[in-house]
Amino acid sequence: MALTAEEIEGFVTDGFVRIPEAFPRSVADECRGVLWRETGLDPDDPATWTRPVVRLGGYGGGPFAKAVSTPRLHEAFDALVGAGRWVPRDGLGTFPIRFPHPDDPGDAGWHMDAGWIPEGQEAGRVSLRSRGRALLMLFLFSDVDADSAPTRVKVGSHLDVPAFLAGAGEDGKEMFALCREMDAAGLLDAPGRPSATATGEAGDVYLCHPFLIHAAQPHHGTVPRFIAQPPLVPAGELDPDRRDGSPVERAVRLGLSGNA
Ligand X SMILES: O=C(O)CCC(=O)C(=O)O
Using rule CB under 6 A, residue 7 touches ligand X = no
| Residue number with CB closer to ligand X (113 or 249) | 113
Exactly one of 130, 151, 157, 246 binds ligand X (CB under 6 A); that residue is: 151
| Residue number with CB closer to ligand X (127 or 151) | 151
| Residue number with CB closer to ligand X (127 or 229) | 229
In whole angstroms, give the CA distance from residue 219 to residue 170. 38
Exactly one of 85, 131, 158, 214 binds ligand X (CB under 6 A); that residue is: 214
Least separation in angstroms between residue 258's CB and ligand X is 28
Least separation in angstroms between residue 130's CB and ligand X is 16
| Residue number with CB closer to ligand X (23 or 226) | 226
Using rule CB under 6 A, residue 148 touches ligand X = no
Least separation in angstroms between residue 53's CB and ligand X is 7
| Residue number with CB closer to ligand X (96 or 203) | 96
Which residues ranging from 64 to 103 are in contact with ligand X (CB under 6 A)? 96
19-36: b (≥16 Cβ within 10 Å) or e: beebbeeebbebbbeebb
Residue 72 phi, psi (nearest 5): -60, -45
| Residue number with CB closer to ligand X (79 or 175) | 175
β-pairing verdict for 173-174 and 125-126: antiparallel
Which residues ranging from 225 to 254 are in contact with ligand X (CB under 6 A)? 229
**Contact footprint for ligand X (CB under 6 A):** 96, 113, 151, 214, 216, 229
